[in-house]
Amino acid sequence: MPELPEVETVMRGMRASLEGHRIISAVVRRPDLRWPLPKDLTKILNGRRIESFRRRGKYIFMRLSGGMSMLLHLGMSGRVTLDASGEVTLHEHVTFTTEEGRCFGLIDPRRFGAIDLVPTKEEDSHRFVSGMGPEPLDPAFTAATLAQSLAGRRAPIKAMLLDQRIVAGLGNIYVCEALFRARIHPATPAGILTMPAIRRLVRAIRAVLTEAIAAGGSSLRDYVQPDGELGYFQHAWRVYGRAGQPCPECPTKGQGADGTDACPGIVRITQSGRSTFFCPRLQTDPAAS
DNA sequence: CCCTACCCCTGGGGGC
DNA sequence: TGCCCCCAGGGGTAGG
C-alpha cells in the first residue's frame, strides 16, 4: 500500500527518532513475510548503530554501523510502530529495541512486506531495487527520459506508471491522481502520448507527490505515521475512491446550452485487475474521437 | 520482449 | 447477529 509519500513519511519518522541509536535486540515472531526473513537477522543486527536512512522507490534502507544496510518494504498493509513503551500488538512480526530505550516494529497483517540485509556498498544492486526507474522527484526524471521509456509501448499509460522500472515509487492512488491532473485518459497506449502530454504528466507526478509528502501521506485503513499521527492527503484526492461523485473540476450540472457537455462524474474501471478512477470528460480517450 | 492473469495474505465493509 | 462476496496501497511469476 504505502506508496512513495507514505514511505517517505515513515522514513522521516524513523530518522527523527532512531538515528544514532544502537540496536540491542531484535525479536522475530513471524519470519514468513513476502520472503523468509534472513535467518540470522537477530544476530547480525545486534549491537549495530543506526547511522542513517535512505528511501528508494517504496523501499527504505536503514544504514547500520559495520557497512550493513537493512532493507524494508511495507507491502500493502505494512506499518512501522515507534513505541517507547514497547507494547507489542497483533501482527507485529518483528520488534527491535535500542539501547536508548526505544522499540520499533514492523506491523503487517497481509505479510506482503519484506525485510532483507545487504552490504551498504551494494544497496543499489539488491534485487529489490536494481532495475528500478528514476526517482520521480529527482531532476533526472524528465519528460525526455520518460518519453524514451514509453516510446513504442502499447500498454495503457496507467499500467506503465505502475511499473517500477519506468519510474519508482508510484502506486495505484498517485497514478490515478497524476493522470487526472495531466488530463490523460488512463487507457491511452503509452507510446502514442504527445510530448506536451508527457510534460504535463511529469509535472503532475511531481506536484501530487510533493503535496502528498507535505501532508504526511494518505492515511488508509492500515497506514498511519510512525508517531501515530494521521496523514491527511486522502482528503485531497480528486478521483481516487470517488466513483459516482462529481468531478471536482468539471462544472456541476446543466452546463452548456444543450447540456451535451455535462460531466457524468468520476468513473471507476478495472485495468489489469486493479481499480482506476478518472473523469471521462476531462481525461479524453483518443480512441473515442 | 511485451502484456495479461493470477497468486501470495488478512481484514473490513456492504448486502442479504 | 452471521455469512458471503468483493475489495484493498504491491509485486513476482507463469503463460499466451
pTM of the model: 0.94
| Residue A267 cell numbers, joined | 468513473
What pLDDT, on the 0 to 100 scale, is given for residue A87? Answer: 85
CATH 3.30.9.10 assigned to domain A143-283? The reply is no
pLDDT, average across residues A119-147: 95
> What are the extents of the domains in chain A?
4-125, 143-283
Query: Is residue A227 over pLDDT 80?
Result: no
pLDDT above 70 as % of chain A = 91
Q: HSE-up of A73 (CA within 13 Å, CB side)?
A: 23
Distance A163 CA to C12 C1' (A): 12
Instruction: Name residues 170-209 of chain A with a Cβ under 7 Å from nucleic strand B.
Output: none
What pLDDT, on the 0 to 100 scale, is given for residue A228? Answer: 60
Q: What confidence tens digit (pLDDT) does each residue in A134-167 have?
A: 999 999 999 999 999 999 999 999 999 999 999 9
- Using CA atoms, how far residue A172 sits from A162, A232, A273, in Å, is 7, 17, 11
C-alpha A147/C-alpha A66 separation (Å) is 41
Domains A4-125 and A143-283 share a fold: no
Distance A159 CA to B4 C1' (A): 11
Q: Is the CB of A275 under 7 A from strand B?
A: no
- Using CA atoms, how far residue A217 sits from A94, A114, A276, in Å, is 24, 21, 20
Task: Tell me which residues of A are annotated as active site.
Answer: 2-3, 58, 274
CATH 3.20.190.10 assigned to domain A4-125? The reply is yes
